Amino acid sequence: MNRIAFTLEDLQLEIAKTCAKGQIFQENVRLIAVSKRQSAQKVRQLANQGQIEFAENQLQEAQDKMAQLTDLKAKWHFIGAIQSRKCKAIAQQFDWVQSVDREKLIAKLNDARNSEQPPLNVCIQVNYFNEPQKSGAKPLEVQKLANIIINMPNLKLRGIMVLPPKQSEFSKQKQQFDEINDFYENLKLTYPQMDTLSMGMSSDFEAAILSGSTMIRVGTSLFGARQD
Ligand SMILES: *Cc1c(COP(=O)(O)O)cnc(C)c1O
């Protein structure tokens, strides 16, 4: 079976091993399957094996997929760049938005979320290393955004999401994640409601977990290479 690169079971085993190594409770690390540019059929296959949370980065593509999967008890995370005209659909159709990076999106997401729905879970995307080509709030802007989010009745501030520069060496990955974890722990002193540090992908989730990640976002390792 080579449709899925790393079976869900194998990946969970790897996560368990890493947690054991770092003396971390495995329940504290959530696995999000990044299903962008993967078929609805593959999502269904993984859901049948017990995976519940999936992430997408394009609204239209996500909507097409969700429409084919309405019978699943899936939870959906939005992790892509947010265009303000798409806030309404994103706020109503996702359980989490991890890529909030500017002030003007916040009220839009709040206003669009139906008050009968549970509050929308929000992570602030932080461009921690100030990379010019990457989206995300600057570290110094995070508190301002957090203060706005906590005052929105239909939003729930959960934490931060980061995508640090790719490093092939484990020690470099770990160093970056440690730095981000310090930043997160410091934020939590002001925002104790934060419980989510979303970091780590296929190529670096072990280092992320060992540095305190509570949510890893894995795509290619689970689903195989993406379709173009
Ligand atoms: C695509 C993507 C991932 C998953 O990347 P893989 O290397 O395929 O595991 C994680 N996070 C974000 C924000 C992404 O866009």
Q: Note whether 87 and 107 are within 8 A (CB).
A: no
Task: Kindly report the protein residue whose alpha carbon is nearest to atom 6 of ligand 1.
Answer: 219
- The three-point CA angle 106-78-127 to 5° equals 70
First to last CA, the chain: 22
For 181-219, the pLDDT digits (tens) are: 999 999 999 999 999 999 999 999 999 999 999 999 999
d(CA 196, CA 32): 12
What's the pLDDT tens digit per position in 58-84? 999 999 999 999 999 999 999 999 999
Among 6, 30, 34, which residue has the most ligand 1 atoms within 8 Å of its CB, making it the best to mutate?
34
Instruction: Find where tokens 């194998």 sit.
Output: 10
90 Cα to the center of ligand 1, angstroms: 19
The protein residue with its alpha carbon nearest to ligand 1, atom 11, reads 217
217 lines ligand 1 (CB under 6 A): yes
Rounded to whole angstroms, the Cα distance separating 213 from 207 reads: 9
Spacing, Cα 40 to ligand 1 middle (Å): 17
**pLDDT 10s digits, 110-169:** 999 999 999 999 999 999 999 999 999 999 999 999 999 999 999 999 999 999 999 999
Q: How much is the mean pLDDT over the chain?
A: 96
216 closest CA partner among 195, 193, 198, 189: 198
